Amino acid sequence: MWRARHNLRVFRFVVAILVAFSLAPFYVLYSTQNSAMALDGTASDPFQESRGKLVVLVFVRTDCPVSNRYAPAIQRISAKYEGQAAFWLVYPDRSESAEKIRQHEREYKYKLPALRDPQLVLVKLAQARVTPEVAVFDASRHLAYHGRIDNLYQDLGRARHAPTTHELEEAIQAVLNGRTPPASAPGAGCFISDLE
């Protein structure tokens, strides 16, 4: 009996790894206990579901005024690259319920799929520090750019009238055209580490 149980455990363990590999063969190992989630509560792998496109993760919070002010810009850029880049909104605050996120999407007229990232799996993967920051992954799922969307904010409370650099768009175009993406530039906003 004891051996049988032991075998069973080993067997299940192996299956879990295989499943993870089949979901993301080149990158993250996902398990149901340790992954981002779609709003319906199921595990979700944006890389798997964005097959063929580059992946852009946009980190936001429902109560971060800086990321909220970016909503129209995020929506506009995602629409512009619709055919080439899959955009995902990532909400790292574990206290934000699926219902709260749906309401937030409605209020700010987001038309992007949203993920909850309570374990901060995607946050770590993207090296995101604040909301809003973005991460651009190329077709081989390497992190090509992470950081601010543009330089609208020089610091908290210090916004320009309009941005003068556009790192997110530059990064997308660089990846699409095989050029070197811009260097990572930190965003100004709400610290994700406050959510740990």
Partner 1 sequence: MTRSVRTLMVILGICFAVAAAASQKDAVPARLPAIPEQRVTFNRDIAPILYHSCAMCHRPGEAAPFPLLSYKDAKSHARQIAAVTQRHFMPPWLPEPGELKFADELRLTAGQIALFQKWVDQGAEEGEPSDLPPAPKFVAGWQLGQPDQVIKAEKPFVLPASGSDMYWNFIFRTPVDRTRWLKAIEIRPGDKRVVHHANILVDRAQTARRQEAQPGAGFAGMEIKIASETFDPDSHFFFWKPGTVPLPEPDGMSLRLDKDTDLVLNIHLQPSGKQEAIQPSLGLYFTEQPATLHPVLLQLENDRLLDIPPGDKNFLVIDDFILPIDVDLLAIYPHAHYLGREMQALATLPDGSVKTLIHIRHWDLNWQAVYRYASPVALPKGTTVTMRYIYDNSDQNTANPNDPPKRVVAGNRSSDEMAHLWLQVLPRALPDSAIDPRRILQESMARHTIEKNPADFEAQYNLGAMLQARGASDEALQHFALAVRLRPQDAVANNALGAVLLATGRTAEAILHFSAALTLQPDNFDAHYNLANALALQGQFREAIVHYGAAIRLRPDDASAEANLGAALAEAGHFPEAKLHLERALRINPQQELARDNLAEVNRTLNNPHP
Distance CA 56, CA 145 (A): 9
73 binds partner 1 (CB under 8 A): yes
Helical segments of 36-138, H only? 46-49, 65-69, 71-80, 98-107, 121-126
Answer yes or no: are the C-beta atoms of 171 and 145 closer than 8 Å: yes
- DSSP assignment string, 113-158: -EEE-TT-HHHHHHT--EESEEEEE-TT--EEEEE-S-SSEEETTE
Coil, helix or strand at residue 11: helix
By CB under 8 A, residue 159 contacts partner 1: yes
Asked if residue 193 binds partner 1 (CB under 8 A), the reply is yes
Q: Which stretch binds partner 1 (CB under 8 A): 32-40, 69-77, 137-145, 169-177?
A: 69-77
In this chain, which stretch among 36-44, 45-53, 101-109, 137-145 interacts with partner 1, using CB under 8 A? 101-109
Taking the complex as a whole, how short is the minimal distance between the CB of residue 123 and partner 1, in angstroms?
Answer: 14
Min CB(70)–partner 1 separation in Å: 7
- Burial group, residue 74, by CB count within 10 angstroms (0-12, 13-18, 19+): buried
Which of 95, 140, 177, 183 forms a contact with partner 1 (CB under 8 A)? 95
Per-residue tokens: 116: 């909850």
Q: Please report whether residue 160 would count as binding partner 1 according to CB under 8 A.
A: yes
Asked if 1 interacts with partner 1 (CB under 8 A), we say no
In angstroms, the CA 86 to CA 97 distance is: 23
Under rule CB under 8 A, residue 69 binds partner 1: yes
Q: Angle CA(77)–CA(80)–CA(83) in degrees, nearest 5?
A: 120
Mark 111-150 with x for binding to partner 1 (rule: CB under 8 A) and - for no binding.
Answer: ----------------------------------------
How many residues touch partner 1 under the rule CB under 8 A: the total is 29
| Cβ nearer to partner 1, comparing 45 with 96 | 96
Task: Provide the binding-site residues for partner 1, judged by CB under 8 A.
Answer: 63-65, 68-73, 93, 95, 107-109, 154-162, 164, 190-191, 193-195
